Structure 1
Amino acid sequence: MKRFSNVRTLFFAPIVLIGLGGPAALAGQNECAGRAADIIRRAYPSATDADDGTLLFEGATITLPKDDNVDGVPHAVICRVWPAQPQLMLIAVPLMIEQSDSENEGDIELLVVDSTNLQIKRLRLDGLMSDDAVRVRSVAFDTARYRFAPGRTAFGLRVSLEGSSRANPFGETTLWLFSIEGDGLKPVLDNIVVGESHGEWDTVCAGEFSETTRTLSMVPSAKAAVADIVVTEKTTTSVNTVGTDNSCNSEDKTTIDKHRLQYDGSGYGVLKDLKRVE
C-alpha cells in the first residue's frame, strides 16, 4: 500500500485533546445522498453509467449511496459536512477495480468540495479498499476537532477491517489524518491502528482474547515548534477457562501504555507496532 508522508511544517497551538471520535464525530456519513450523483459527475466528468446503476471511471466502479444508511455497504461513496468548516463537504469515493466474494481491489479518492465556489481538492489513496480474507467492513470520516494550530484543523478517515473466522476473530480500525494545504490535501498522520481485537478459542469457552484502543492528544514538543502526538494505549486481555462445574470463567488483565510520535520534517512517524497489518 502506498504511504503518504509529504506534510508541510505545522505550528504548535495550545494543547488540544484528540479523542477517538464519538458518535457526533462519526455520524452522518451519507449527507450527500440526494446530491451524490451530481457531485460525483462534477468530480468525474468522464464517468459513464453502468447497467446496475453504478458509474464506471477509468476501469473502476463507483457505487453511489442509495439512502441515509450506508452500513454494510463499504464500497459506496460517503459524504460528511465538515463541522470545523461547514462550507466544505468531505467525500470518500471508493474506486473499485475488482469485486468478488474472495477478494477486492480498489483505491479511495478523498474529495473536499467547497460549496462557495465549487472547487474540488482531491487525494488518491492507493490500495486502501483492497482486501481478501480480512474484509473492509466500513469507511467513515472522523470530524473530531483535530486542531494543530490556529486556523488549521485536520479531518480523519477511518477504515475498519473484519475477519471471517469464528475460531480466530479479528477486527481492526485504522485512522489517517489529512489537512488542506494550498490547492491540495496533505497527510498529517499516516496509518495508526486506533482499535484492534483478536482472539483464539474453541468456539465454546476456552481461549484468549485481546482488545486494544488508542487515543491521541497533542502536546508541546521540547525540540520543535511542531507539536508531538502522545498515543495512550489501553489493552485488555481475557483468558477463558472451563471450570470444574463446566462453567466458563474469565480472567481479565488491563495494561496502559503511552507512545510519543514526533514530527520528522515530513510527517509524524508511526511506530511499526501501531500500524495496520499488511
Structure 2
Amino acid sequence: MKTFLFFITLSITLLFSCKENTKNENEESQVNENALESLVEVTSGNATFEEAFHKLPIKSVPIQAIISKNEKILTEMNPVAFNLPSIYELWYNKNYNYQLISGYRLNLSTEFYTAILKIKIGEIDQEHWLINYDFEGKIIDSIQVAIFSDGEYEYSTTKSTIDQNEILITSNFFVKDADEKEEMQRIIKILPDGKLKEISEKESILDFVAKELNIENSKRIEDLEAFKLQPNNPKEAIVVIPEIVEGSEEEEFFKLNSHIAIVDLKSKTITHQYFESCKTNDWVSDAIRLDEIKIDTAPYLVNESTRAFGISVHYFGSSRVNPYHNQKLSLFVKEKGTLKNILHNFSMEESSGEWNGNCEGEFESEKKTLIVSDKKTNGYFDFTIKNTIAKTRNFETEDGDCKEEEEIKKEAGVLKFDGKKYAE
C-alpha cells in the first residue's frame, strides 16, 4: 500500500514538474497570447479606449517632444486600452519591464485621435510614441518621437517638433569615451487619413509655402513644382508653385498662376514672394504642353551687389510630324519683401519643324546664351546675346539612304535695362 502511494505521489510530482517546465519554456508566448485575447476583449467596445484617451491632458501644437528625467508618472494608465501590446510584442516579458508612465493628446484632426504616450523601459531608457487612432481605438499609424537609450558603449537621444501636419525628428548618437557624434533628421508628414509618411526637405518646404500662400492641394501639380537651394546661401531656398486656375482644367489643358517665394530654412519663413496671373505669365498648357518648370541659379550679376535668379519654363508640341520646343526665361531680384521681375519670358531656345515621320523633313532651331557685359544701362549691366541658329534638311537619296544637310549661323544682340525690365 505504501509502495502504491509512493508511485502515485511520484507520478503527480513528475506530472506537475513537466507542466511547470513546459510553462516556463512557453511562458512568453502564452502571456502574449493571453494579452492579445485580452486586447481583443478591451478594444471590441470603444468605451475603455474612449475613457482612457479622454483622461489624457490635451496640449496644443506646435509642441516639442523630448525626454525629461523628472517625468511625472500618471497612475492607473491602461496599456491595453491604448493597444500598446500590438506595438511592443514583448510588452509582458518581465525582462524588458515596459511601463506606460504618462502621456497627452493632440487635436490634429477631426478624422482621427492622436496621443503621445511615454514608455519607460527598465530603469533608465524611455520612448515617446505618437500614435494615431481611429475612433474605436485601432491604431492607424505610429512613430517614435522621443528616445533616450543608454547602452554600455553608446547612448542615443531623439527629440521632435510636432506641428499640425508635420513632425521634425532629430536623432543624435554618441559613442562613449570617444569624441564621436552623429546627427540625423527626418521629416514625417501627417496625412489626412492619419497615416504617416516620411518626406524630403523639398516636399516639406513646398507644403509649407503652399499652406502659407493659401494654395489648395487640389490646385497643385507636383510634377511642375520646383525647389532649389541658393548656391551662395544654402540656408535659403527658391520655391516655385504653379496654381491651377479654377475652371481651366480640361484633360491636358490648364492655366496656371505663378507663385515664387524665397524661404529662410533656418526660421522657416517666407522672406520674399512674387505672384503673377495666368493672364500675363503665359503659363498655359494646351496643344503646346507646359512640360517643366526649372529654377536657374547661374550667376546673373546684374550689378556689383545684386544677383538675379531665373525661372525657365519649357513647352513641347504634341504633334509627332510637327515637333516643337520652346524654353522661356524670366529673371528676378529681391526688392524689400518682394521679388521684382526684370526679364519676362525671354525665349532662350526654340525649335520647330515638319517631317514625314520617316526621313524627309526640315527643322529650324535657335539657342541663345546671355553673357554679362561690363556696360551699364540704368544701373544694371547689359547682357550680350549670342544666338546660334541652325537649319537642318533631311532627305532620302536615290539609294534609299537618309541624308542630312545643316546650315549654322550666329547672331548677336543686347539686352538693356529700361528702368523696369530688360529688353532688346
| AA matched with 1:261 | L
Give yes or no for contact 2:299–2:309 (8 Å, CA) kept in 1. yes
Q: Which moved more, 1:95-104 or 1:193-202?
A: 95-104
Q: Percent identity?
A: 23
Structure 1 residue corresponding to 2:276, chosen from 104, 125, 130:
125
Tell me what 1:78 maps to: 226
Other structure's SS at 2:285 match: coil
Q: What secondary structure is seen at the aligned counterpart in 1 of 2:208?
A: helix
Query: What CA distance in whole angstroms lies between the structure 2 residues aligned with 1:95 and 1:201?
Result: 36
Per-residue CA distance 1:16-50 (angstroms, 9 max, x = gap): xxxxxxxxxxxxxx861244323422332xx55xx
- 2:201 and 2:326 map into 1 onto residues whose CA distance is 25
Provide the residue aligned with 1:112 in structure 2.
Answer: 262
Q: Residue 224 and residue 108 in structure 1: after superposition, are their counterparts in 2 closer, same or farther (change >3 A)? A: closer
Matched, 1:90 2:90: no
Structure 1 residue 267, shift from structure 2 partner: 1.6
Write the deviation string for residues 77-124 of structure 1: whole angstroms up to 9, x where unpaired.
Answer: 321111123222111111002323251112111111123442332111
Aligned partners of 2:378 and 2:226: how far apart in 1?
37
TM-score, length of structure 1 as denominator length: 0.73
Matched AA of 1:107: N
Q: Which residue of 1 aligns with 2:79?
A: none
Residues 147-195 of structure 1 deviation map (CA, whole Å, 9 limit, x = unaligned): 1223311110000000011111000111000000111100121111111
User: Which amino acid in the other structure matches residue 286 of structure 2?
Assistant: D
> Amino acid of the residue matched to residue 94 of structure 1?
P
Moved more, 120-129 or 84-93: 120-129
Give 1:26-41 correspondences, 5 Å limit. Answer: 32-41=202-211
Code of the residue aligned with 1:162 in structure 2: it is F
Deviations 1:245-265 (A, max 9, x none): 111111001000001111212
- 1:206 partnered with 2:388: no
User: Looking at CA atoms only, which structure, 1 or 2, has the larger radius of gyration?
Assistant: 2
Closer, same or farther: CA 257–83 of 1 in aligned 2, 3 Å? same
CA distance in 1 between partners of 2:270 and 2:251 (Å): 37
Q: Aligned-pair RMSD on alpha carbons?
A: 2.0
Provide, for residues 124-153 of structure 1, a one-character-per-residue CA deviation record: whole Å limited to 9, x for no partner.
122243221101010010011111223311
Other-structure match for 1:255: 409
Residues of 2 paired with 1:190 and 1:255: CA distance? 26
Distance in 1 of aligned mates of 2:380 and 2:298 = 20
Structure 1: distance between partners of 2:207 and 2:379: 43
Partner residue in 2 for 1:17: none
Structure with the higher helix share, 1 or 2: 2
Conservation of the 8 A alpha-carbon contact between 1:231 and 1:260: yes
Relative to structure 2, which stretch is displaced further, 251-260 or 32-41?
32-41
Q: Which has the higher contact order (CA 8 A, sep 6+)?
A: 1
Q: Which residue of 2 aligns with 1:157?
A: 311
Deviation at 1:225, TM superposition (A): 4.4
Say whether the 8 Å CA contact 1:262–1:268 is kept in structure 2.
yes
Which of 388, 392, 398 in structure 2 is aligned with 1:244?
Answer: 398
Count of aligned pairs between the two proteins: 219
Q: Which runs of 5+ in 2 are unaligned?
A: 1-199
- Aligned CA distance change for structure 1 residues 151 and 31 (closer, same or farther; 3 Å): farther
Query: What SS class does the counterpart of residue 165 from structure 1 fall into?
Result: coil
